[in-house]
Amino acid sequence: MPTLDQIEQKSAAVGVIGLGYVGLPLAVEFAKAGFTVTGIDVDPRKAKVLSEGRSYIQDVPRQDVEAMVSAGRLTATTDFSALKRLDAVSICVPTPLKKTKDPDISFVAAATEEVARHLPPGQLVVLESTTYPGTTNEVVLAALAKEGRQAGKDFFLAFSPERVDPGNPVYNTRNTPKIIGGVTPQCTKLAVALYRHAVETVIPVSSTQAAEMVKLLENTFRAINIGLANEVALMCRPLDIDVWEVIDAASTKPFGFMPFYPGPGLGGHCIPIDPLYLSWKLKAFNYNARFIELASEINTKMPEHVVELAADALNGVKKSVNGSNILILGVAYKRNVDDVRESPALDIIRLLRAKGAQVAFSDPFVPKLDIGDGVVLASAETDRLSGYDAVIIVTDHAQFDYKAIVKQARLVIDTRNATKNVTEGREKIVKL
């Protein structure tokens, strides 16, 4: 086992399984803290790029990767047998939803099987993948405890939910507080001691289940409140009230109110998915998570609402969606990032194409977009907006010149209030 002395002296060998948006920043932080880190991923391209000292994650500077690789503190491999040489390993693999909206923990199960197969005596294993309460014990612990091995003695196991916010200029892996809950008190103690080197603030909780629930509460809170903001936007439209003005005015209250904003739909790996993990788990207890289900219903309907807005706006100038040329501005799920996972832009594009529209997109962070069915679109330039019948602002990247966009475009459907400071040409703007 990694002793507390090994951890404090940073002689413990650390591994990270899954080198994506969560795993790579964590691996780099452990390396920067002075540990020797081995990153493991099934994608050989990631291992190759990292071995060359390059980064493929926007929030991880190339110079950081290059420095850690050059110093010999960061290596990457696809060979899971490297686990035999590690004192501690963090599992940071995806946990998507199936088409049935049931949790897909196949990546966690596969990573856990590899850990169990190569498990050296006393290894510390920390699961970071977001999942339903009980996963760490029911899936990971069950696999590691085979052959009579005991948690807290033969191996150590904890759960620490990732709290990555891509593109956030203030909070990153190091300065975002970390929650840790172990299977046993000693498991928690070791995991806390290790993570304190890579993260400024570490907060222990009583169990893995509590730590799992913390993450789901955080994103359920956001999903439900965004759902409320979206429903208020839907209510304000027939009342001819500007929802953005209402939210801004309500935000002046210094207590009892926290602003959330409407939009074209939820995107990213966390907010659209995590609450449904909790809802699914509770069905086993015959409990209907009504807030979660209702918020999900409202949020997933927003792309359809955006398409309806576009259709109404085009009808207002005697054009139909069928045959119209429409440009989607921004396809990443949030501003100033290159991540398109679960992006509402994908649904909006598919819905418009199904209605016969010719759809293009422009995004400074996304050069190509796979919209499914073998269709891949390339990002277009924004210098000839007058050639489109309508422009839909789906992601409000800072790089877009919104004054120029409104000036050049025939119609603008603004789903993010990106044109709030534009005065000229406001008659062409349709807001969410």
Positions annotated as catalytic residues are: 270
Residues found in the chain = 432
- Partnered with residue 40 across adjacent β-strands are 17, 77
- Residue 404 CA to residue 411 CA, distance in Å, equals 13
- What are the C-alpha distances in Å from 345 to residues 66, 293, 333, 337, 395? 34, 22, 8, 14, 8
Q: Is 368 helix (H, G, I), strand (E, B) or coil?
A: strand
Give residue 175's identity as a one-letter amino acid code.
N
- Partnered with residue 90 across adjacent β-strands are 16, 126
Percent helix, percent strand, percent coil in the chain, to nearest 5: 40, 15, 45
- Residue 208 CA to residue 144 CA, distance in Å, equals 15
- Residue 38 CA to residue 47 CA, distance in Å, equals 10
Residues with Cβ within 8 Å of residue 71, at least 6 apart in sequence: 31
CA nearest 178: which of 152, 197, 151, 154? 197
- Residue 350 CA to residue 353 CA, distance in Å, equals 5
312: its two tokens: 């109404």
Residues with Cβ within 8 Å of residue 192, at least 6 apart in sequence: 180, 202, 204
Using alpha carbons only, how large is the chain's radius of gyration in Å? 24
Give residue 132's identity as a one-letter amino acid code.
Y
Helix ranges, 10-105 (H):
23-32, 44-51, 62-70
Strands 178-182 vs 156-159: parallel, antiparallel or unpaired: antiparallel
The DSSP letter of residue 37 is: E
- Residue 135 CA to residue 128 CA, distance in Å, equals 11
CA nearest 312: which of 210, 430, 404, 209? 430
